[in-house]
Amino acid sequence: MKAIILNLSAWIMLPFMDAIAKYLSSELSFFQITWARYFFTVFFTLPFMFLFFKHQLKWTENPKLQFYRGLTLFLANICFFYSISIISMAKALTLAFVAPLITTTLSPFFLGEKVGLKRWTAVIIGFLGILIVIRPGFIEFNLASIAAVGTGCFYGVYLIITRRLHTTDSPLLTLLLTGVVGVSIGSFIVPVVWINPSFNQWSWLALMGLFACFGHILLIYSLRYADASKLAPFGYFEIIPNIILGYYLFSDFLDIWSFLGLAVIISSGLFIIRREYLSKYSK
């Protein structure tokens, strides 16, 4: 029960980060917002680890994988923050839920996992759900929708790499290194789009980083009490606070077709998660 409470708390907290990013996107570049998300995540995570987990501050056993993991999450964040600057948070997150489908598609090639016919069918159905949301040819197909799908694609690769790192580096060290990779890459590019934030904007950016930091720490702690496969279905709970915040703060709401596509995508994702869980524990 403790694992579920911690996990759900994280999924309640992280949409607040997205809401702040969307709010600031009318004043600052989405790239500058992404950089700030990583800068403040490192800013808050590093002292937390020094105070409570100093023994975990050691060099990683897999520097290449840590770099690629940080890079894919950084790219996922860029795509997502760009997409929510144009379309609703709920629609962007719905399209980003393609991540488990991407993970399943790539797992035979990168993890050597066997994917059966039922899971391949679920992947195809999930992609049909994405087409229902986007409806190419019926509504305007914009770059923001493509970026939202790109978020899920990058996050799917991120999940593949995370599985490879699970047995070596500690989760908190991985969180810190992911932030370091993101802020390091972003710092090379952010001067091009830099706008000097006001004190109020700096405060919102810091709060956004705080939500990101605590959200991911809650996710990490939830994994101490339960396996990732058991907690994976609760990730879809994120759509609920996402829809609520989008409606009350930005007057955004999913239409009936987007809700239908969301139901298809989540159903296929849950089926895949269940099949992976049964496959893992039937051995």
163: which DSSP letter?
H
pLDDT, tens only, 110-141: 767 777 788 888 888 888 888 888 876 555 66
CA distance 3 to 220: 10
CA distance 102 to 18: 22
Residue 110 has which token pair? 């990168």
pLDDT, tens only, 145-162: 899 999 999 988 888 887
Number of domains in the chain: 1
Which of 137-154 are b and which e, b meaning 16 or more Cβ less than 10 Å from the residue's Cβ? eeeeeeebbebbbbbbbb
Higher pLDDT, 84 or 58: 84
Domain of residue 218: give its range: 2-281
pLDDT for the residue numbered 264: 92
pLDDT, tens only, 77-109: 999 999 999 999 999 999 998 888 888 888 887
Evaluate if pTM is beyond 0.85: yes
Instruction: Output the CA torsion sign for 251, 216, 85, 98.
Output: negative
